[in-house]
Each structure stands twice: as structure tokens, then as C-alpha cells.
């Protein structure tokens, strides 16, 4: 494998242009240079198409889904991955914030190991409804931070489930069960942002996330908030 393998960041988006702009800026600011961003959206999403055209970067490409056939989120992820050219694929949610060293760090944790994929075991949480910031509970892996060899994801046995929610959890479980997944305890690499239009809505945050998260002190919370706001 090349010392600087191409990494394809997979970004599915749907009518969230301000959040997509932040996600694109996070991609362009990455310290790792050999990368591409696959922005995938339905044919009726003109704002996403216009944004990609305006940036006019050779490292940013579009995958356009037909509006004639309804596809689940999992199916869309699998299709976008098939259009990627990288040795690795990195999940790149359009509504979250990604530190400039995210690609470089997750790749470094795979070099010279048996592992095929990496995830973060902790992340930061930003609650757009209240302005509060949190350190998440420790998990063996936060699904949205998956960084994985593309060849594995193209195998029918390892693809995303054809679901609109939770399509990524079975894949992560399977990677862990087969000892192919390394967890990285660096929460500063990723901020999961609540903005009222997430795939998992407010109840998910209040029931499944916040009760086990640690609320950050004002100084650190301000840094998280500034990171989220400044990249819009």
C-alpha cells in the first residue's frame, strides 16, 4: 500500500446547505492531502449541486441519486462508496464538525496493524438547541466516525444495511466481532451536532446521549461552540 493512500470521504446530504458548507470547509482544511470528498445527494437538490460547482475543486465530486427510485440511507451509502476511488473510505456526515487532523489520525492508527477500520471511542457533543457542549460517554465505537478499507465495504457481507436509521450499527458490530476495528480515545477529532433536523431527533439525545455525557465547563464549551459556529 502507498504511504499516502487516497482517502475518500463519503458525505450524504439533503437540503442542509449551511451545514454542508461547514462540512466541506472541514474537508478542505484537513492536514492529510491525498483525499477526495464524495458529496452524494438526490437530483432535485440544486443547492448542493451549485455548492460543489462553485468550489470547483478536483478533490470534490458529486454522486447524484435519481428521484424516481426511493433508496434507504444504507443503500445510498453503499452506492456512494462504489463511486469512491480511495483505498480507504471515511464517513463524513454533513451536519457534524471534523477536526483538521481527523483523516491523518485515523489512518495512522491503522498503519502497521491487523485492523481494517478505526472509530472514535469518545466524541464531543454540541447541543444547538441549548448551546451546551458535552464530552460523550465512552463506547467501543461511534458509528459516524468510521474509517475503513473500501475493499471491505464493497463486499456484500460487509455493506451498510438497507435501513433509514441505524444502518451503520450492524457493520460496526461485525467489524468489532471479527477484531478488525480499533477504537481511538481522541474526542477532539469530532463534534456531533444537534440542529433539530438530525436523522435521530431530540428524544435520542435526551434519552440515549446526554444522561451519560459530561457537560463541559464554560471555557472548554466555548471552544467547542466556536469551532461549530466559525466553520459555517
Q: What is the pLDDT of residues 105-128, one digit of tens each?
A: 999 999 999 999 999 999 999 998
Query: What mean pLDDT comes out for the span 90-94?
Result: 96
Give the chain's mean pLDDT. 91
Average pLDDT rounded to a whole number, residues 174-195: 95
Mean pLDDT, residues 1-7 taken together: 87
User: Mean pLDDT over residues 53-63, rounded?
Assistant: 85
Q: What is the mean predicted confidence (pLDDT) over 139-152? A: 95
pLDDT cut 70: percent of the chain above it:
96
Is residue 151 within 8 A of residue 173, CB to CB? The reply is no
Cβ count near 125 (within 10 Å): 24
Alpha helices in 56-200 (DSSP H): 73-82, 102-108, 150-154, 169-177
* pLDDT score of 95 more than 70: yes
Task: Determine the average pLDDT of the residues in 8-31.
Answer: 91
Query: Residue 19: what pLDDT?
Result: 87
Cα separation, 88 vs 176, whole angstroms: 18
| Average pLDDT of span 46-67 | 86
From residue 154, how far is each of 196, 213, 221 by CA, in Å? 32, 34, 39
- pLDDT confidence bin for 18, thresholds 50/70/90: confident
Could you count the other beta carbons within 10 Å of the beta carbon of residue 177?
A: 9
CATH superfamily of 7-120+140-185: Spore Coat Polysaccharide Biosynthesis Protein SpsA; Chain A (3.90.550.10)
Provide the whole-model pTM.
0.93
Whether residue 225 has pLDDT greater than 90: yes
DSSP summary character for residue 2: -
CA–CA gap between residue 156 and residue 149 (Å, rounded) = 14
Within 10 A of 197 (CB to CB), how many other CB atoms are there? 12
Q: Is the per-residue pLDDT at 46 higher than 80?
A: yes
What span, in angstroms and rounded, lies between the C-alpha atoms of 225 and 10?
24
Confidence band of 56 (pLDDT split at 50, 70, 90): low
Amino acid at each position: 500500500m502507498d504511504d499516502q493512500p487516497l482517502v475518500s470521504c463519503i458525505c450524504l446530504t439533503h437540503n442542509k446547505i449551511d451545514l454542508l458548507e461547514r462540512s466541506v470547509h472541514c474537508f478542505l482544511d484537513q492536514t492529510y492531502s491525498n483525499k477526495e470528498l464524495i458529496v452524494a445527494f438526490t437530483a432535485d437538490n440544486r443547492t448542493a449541486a451549485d455548492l460543489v460547482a462553485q468550489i470547483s475543486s478536483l478533490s470534490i465530486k458529486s454522486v447524484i441519486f435519481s428521484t424516481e427510485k426511493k433508496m434507504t440511507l444504507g443503500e445510498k451509502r453503499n452506492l456512494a462508496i462504489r463511486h469512491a476511488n480511495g483505498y480507504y473510505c471515511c464517513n463524513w456526515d454533513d451536519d457534524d464538525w471534523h477536526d483538521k487532523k481527523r483523516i491523518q489520525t485515523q489512518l495512522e492508527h491503522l498503519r502497521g496493524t491487523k485492523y481494517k477500520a478505526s472509530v472514535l471511542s469518545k466524541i464531543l457533543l454540541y447541543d444547538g438547541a441549548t448551546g451546551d457542549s458535552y464530552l460523550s460517554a465512552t463506547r467501543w465505537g461511534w458509528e459516524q466516525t468510521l474509517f475503513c478499507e473500501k475493499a471491505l465495504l464493497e463486499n456484500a457481507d460487509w455493506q451498510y444495511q438497507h435501513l433509514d436509521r441505524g444502518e451503520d450499527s450492524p457493520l460496526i458490530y461485525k467489524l468489532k466481532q471479527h477484531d478488525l476495528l480499533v477504537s481511538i480515545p481522541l474526542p477532539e477529532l469530532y463534534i456531533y451536532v444537534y440542529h433539530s433536523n438530525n436523522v435521530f431527533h431530540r428524544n435520542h439525545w435526551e434519552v440515549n446521549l446526554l444522561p451519560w455525557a459530561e457537560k463541559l465547563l464554560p471555557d472548554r464549551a466555548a471552544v467547542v461552540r466556536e469551532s461549530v459556529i466559525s466553520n459555517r
